[in-house]
Amino acid sequence: MQAYIFDLDDTLYDLSRHRARHLRRAWASWLDELPDQAVTAVLERAVQQRIFFRDMQTFLIDAGVHDAALRDELVTVSQRTWFTDLELDAGVADTLSALAQTARLGLITNGPSWTQRAKIEQFQLARWFPTMIVSGEFGYDKPDPRIFSAMLDALAVRAEDAIMVGDNPDADIRGAHAVGMRAVWVQHPHMQYPDDLDPPWRTIPHVRTLLDAVSST
């Protein structure tokens, strides 16, 4: 295989786990005053609701933080540390390094430039990905075939010689299939595979198992 193209969020790192870990740290001045059971409930609810900066004030009010100064402090700390708290999942760096020795790597991520570029910088993804496309900069989101075709052109590979690796069946698998690429689905328990979508070429529980999956061809 000549090229591997990766998604970012929930593929190279677990966004839900990051959200819970980050908010536990950023909101420590409030959460440390709560019983352990209440802390767990708050963090679980924040993960389920996918809380981000724009949602925090309302979320904190609903959670019982009526002190406006405290709410402002919690939001400010979160904004300052959200991206610097990010960590690649264990085994991902080794997998990318191994693949980069024999194949071309590309990254396609949906989202605005200001969030996705901050993640790319924090993870130092340029070590492995000479070509990265952020949908907010490109003008089209996955699964639009144009974003996949642009990546294939940038890597100078044919669709049949590249594999897409991602967690979202609609965005990653459907888009890859639309341009004739094979796809590896990184399966998460909460993600259902659409009935109308052809099966992925391979299904794996985590990116760190990708090498074993592709070597079994």
The answer to whether the bond into 143 is cis (omega within 30° of 0) is yes
Model pLDDT, residue 217: 57
Cα–Cα dist 18/2, whole Å = 32
Alpha carbons within 13 angstroms on the beta-carbon side of residue 22 total 25
Distance CA 48, CA 44 (A): 6
**CA 208: distance to chain centroid?**
15
Q: Could you count the other beta carbons within 10 Å of the beta carbon of residue 84?
A: 9
* Strand, helix or coil for residue 216: coil
Averaged in consecutive runs of 10 residues, what is the pLDDT profile of the chain (217 residues)?
95 96 97 97 96 96 97 97 96 97 97 97 97 98 98 98 97 97 94 94 96 83
Does pTM surpass 0.85?
yes
Measured in degrees and rounded to the nearest 5, phi and psi for residue 141 equal -100, 155
Q: What is the DSSP letter of 206?
A: S
